[in-house]
Amino acid sequence: MRTRKQTAASGIVVNVLIITMIAALYFSTSSDVMVPAAAADVFYAPPIYRGQADDAVALQFAVDYQASALEDILDTLSQNDIKLTFAVSGKWARDNAKLLKRIVDEGHEVATMGNDHSSDGNLSWVVSDVEKSLDTVELISGTRPTLYYSGEYRSIPVSSYAAEKLDLTQVLCTVDLLCARGSSADIIQRFEKVCEPSSIILAQPTKAMSESLDDIIKILKSKGLSVTTVSDIL
């Protein structure tokens, strides 16, 4: 039989739990603070790391710095009639309006990385940063992205809340080809190890990646897989 002290103690525990959950919800939705990790575990929707296609992979290029070979990559994709996803930063878009227009005109999907993707902040800062990039891309290309690649520099929970507020789908990747490291042969070797259906494969438009792209397309065809946009495999 429970004593009065035991009942009171139980009531205190329940009240503390309720207060903690309310506080977590408050801080997770406040635009002036970082989202606490504890709140994130309960309340935030995780980003998408892979798709659901049985016969395709998505190739997602992160376009900010090290984009010197982008035109060569676009030429290869055009020759093979392949459409991919290009996640661009707002800063890159402003400085490379002609290339961004070409990406859109040739039927590729454009995602945003935010305006200054290598920086992070609280929820209001991230929302403002991503919104600025959306406006920039739309102004230049006439297309407003619906995907947000939050990248390695930003808090995943904060970016998840920002994506929800801006009605975006937050995506990351299944694997990263690490295109800034090594030669084209290194990239091809890495690709062969991770080439699985429904993967979202991250690449950067480097010279080595440009040199390996034809071989990557051939490898996919030999496996009976097509390469397409992120949206097409979700």
pLDDT per position as a tens digit, 137-168: 999 999 999 999 999 899 999 999 999 999 99
Residue whose token pair is 């992070």: 120
Element (H, E) at 7: helix 4-29
Show the tokens assigned to 189: 């070797």
Specify whether the backbone of 40 is left (phi greater than 0), alpha (psi in -120 to 50) or beta: alpha
By C-alpha distance, which of 103, 118, 104, 109 is closest to 65? 118
Angle made by CA atoms 155, 99, 202, in degrees to the nearest 5: 40
Task: With H, G, I as helix, E, B as strand and everything else as coil, classify residue 44.
Answer: coil
What average pLDDT does range 66-79 have in this prediction? 93
For 19-71, what is each residue's pLDDT tens digit?
444 344 434 444 443 444 444 444 567 899 999 999 999 999 999 976 889 99
By C-alpha distance, which of 232, 226, 223, 174 is closest to 203? 174
**pTM of the prediction?**
0.81
Task: With H, G, I as helix, E, B as strand and everything else as coil, classify residue 115.
Answer: coil
Task: With H, G, I as helix, E, B as strand and everything else as coil, classify residue 63.
Answer: strand
* CA 189 to centroid of chain Cα atoms: 24
Could you say which DSSP state residue 195 is in?
-
By C-alpha distance, which of 40, 179, 60 is closest to 113? 60
Residue whose token pair is 């989202």: 35
Q: Map out the domains of the chain as residue ranges.
A: 4-43, 56-233
What average pLDDT does range 101-110 have in this prediction? 98
For 183-234, what is each residue's pLDDT tens digit?
999 999 999 998 899 999 999 999 999 999 999 999 999 999 999 999 999 9
| pLDDT classification of 100: cutoffs 50, 70, 90 | very high
Q: Distances from the Cα of 215 to the Cαs of 2, 77, 187, 204, in angstroms? A: 72, 12, 10, 16
Homologous superfamily (CATH) of 56-233 is: Glycoside hydrolase/deacetylase (3.20.20.370)
Q: Are 113 and 173 in contact (CB under 8 A)?
A: no
> Distance between CA atoms of 115 and 113, rounded to whole angstroms?
7
Query: What is the phi/psi pair of residue 57, to 5°?
Result: -125, 160
Q: Is the pLDDT of residue 16 over 60?
A: no
> Distance between CA atoms of 91 and 151, rounded to whole angstroms?
15
